[in-house]
């Protein structure tokens, strides 16, 4: 299971257990952390790598794929050159790639895991885990890769709310309904497209009412318009409607 699927798995457990909190993993630099539902395996195995004594932790033969969910950590050659083990690694090619980009990278400003306005992927333990936490997380707002996001906010500092006058690159606006867009190819629901897009409506498990978090924050990259947080709360989800094709802006 990769990072872009971890949030979906986490949300399924949230719904099953009626958990309404907001926490997730730890340690892209080997720090470990608090672990949210469905993601503790990754942070735990990673934290263990710091004391592994050099023994390989690759699962089976090295295959070039970092299976951190399966137990591989930074002692495994599959992982050592990835963003999982290199804190703040960014490739800046316009695509949020799980192993080439940390969550704080500009390419991940609209990724449904890295830029969750509900902050389900934030640990808030005082350390920025750049692989799992994005610039919207309190721990990472001072990270150098997040300086442009803070500067885009009114007054040059995030305040916890996305104001209409603020640029979509603002820390507080990452992943919000007006700052994510549909690609309108009508072929595939990508993980940086909101659930109100035509190709996402009813096609993805995480875009259904059963995955609603109901925390008061519309997270359109994984919550459907039928969720109470979004229904009638954002322009793309008129009350009682299924949502539409539209999507404005882009995270920048």
Residue ranges of the domains in the chain? 1-175, 177-252
Query: What is the reported pLDDT for 199?
Result: 83
Query: What is the reported pLDDT for 174?
Result: 93
Query: What is the reported pLDDT for 11?
Result: 45
Query: What is the reported pLDDT for 52?
Result: 37
Query: Left if phi > 0, otherwise alpha if psi is -120 to 50, otherwise beta: which for 71?
Result: left
Q: What is the Cα–Cα distance from 133 to 70, expressed in whole angstroms?
A: 20
**Closest Cα to residue 57, out of 40, 74, 42?**
74
Task: Answer positive or negative: Cα dihedral of 222, 224, 228, 230.
Answer: positive
Q: Do 29 and 12 meet the contact criterion of CB atoms below 8 Å apart?
A: no
Query: What is the reported pLDDT for 144?
Result: 96
HEC readout, the chain: CCHHHHHHHHHHHHHHHCCCCCCCCCCCCCCCCCCCCCCHHHHHHHHHHHHCCCCCCCCCCCCCCCCCCCCCCCCCCCCCCCCCCCCCCCCCCCCCCCCCCCCCCHHHCCCCCCCCCCCCCCCCCCCCCCCCCCCCCHHHCCCHHHHHHHHCCHHHCCCCCCCCCCCCCCHHHCCCHHHCCCCCCCCCCCCCCCCCCCCCCCCCHHHCHHHCCCCCCCCCCCCCCCCCCCCCCCCCCCCCCCCCCCCCCCCC
Q: How many residues does the chain have?
A: 252
222 exposed, middle or buried (CB, 10 Å; 0-12, 13-18, 19+)?
buried
Q: What is the Cα–Cα distance from 183 to 71, expressed in whole angstroms?
A: 35
Query: What is the reported pLDDT for 200?
Result: 85
The pLDDT tens digits along the chain (252 residues) read 344 444 444 444 333 332 222 223 333 333 222 222 222 223 323 333 333 345 567 887 778 899 999 999 999 999 999 999 999 999 989 889 999 999 999 999 988 889 999 999 999 999 999 999 999 999 999 999 999 999 999 999 998 889 888 989 999 999 999 998 888 776 788 778 899 988 888 676 778 777 788 899 999 988 999 999 999 999 999 986 554 433 333 333
Tokens of 197: 């897009």
Query: What is the reported pLDDT for 219?
Result: 92
pTM: 0.71
Query: What is the reported pLDDT for 186?
Result: 65
């Amino acid at each position: 299971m990769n990072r872009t699927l971890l949030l979906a798995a986490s949300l399924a457990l949230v719904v099953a257990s009626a958990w309404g909190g907001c926490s997730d993993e730890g340690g892209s630099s080997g720090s470990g952390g608090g672990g949210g539902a469905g993601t503790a395996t990754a942070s735990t195995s990673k934290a263990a790598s710091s004391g592994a004594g050099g023994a390989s932790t690759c699962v089976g033969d090295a295959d070039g794929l970092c299976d951190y969910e399966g137990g591989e950590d930074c002692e495994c050659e599959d992982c050592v050159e990835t963003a999982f083990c290199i804190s703040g690694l960014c490739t800046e090619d316009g695509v949020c790639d799980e192993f080439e980009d940390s969550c704080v990278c500009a390419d991940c400003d609209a990724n449904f895991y890295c830029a969750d306005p509900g902050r389900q992927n934030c640990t808030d333990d005082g350390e920025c885990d750049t692989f799992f936490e994005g610039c919207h997380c309190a721990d990472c707002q001072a990270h150098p890769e997040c300086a442009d996001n803070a500067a885009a906010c009114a007054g040059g500092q995030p305040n916890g709310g996305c104001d209409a006058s603020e640029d979509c690159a603002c820390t507080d606006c990452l992943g919000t309904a007006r700052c994510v867009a549909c690609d309108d190819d009508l072929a595939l629901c990508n993980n940086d497209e909101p659930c109100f897009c035509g190709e996402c409506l009813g096609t993805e498990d995480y875009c259904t009412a059963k995955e609603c978090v109901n925390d008061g924050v519309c997270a359109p990259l994984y919550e459907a318009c039928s969720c109470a947080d979004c229904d009638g709360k954002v322009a793309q989800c008129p009350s009682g409607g299924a949502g539409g094709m539209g999507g404005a802006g882009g995270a920048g």
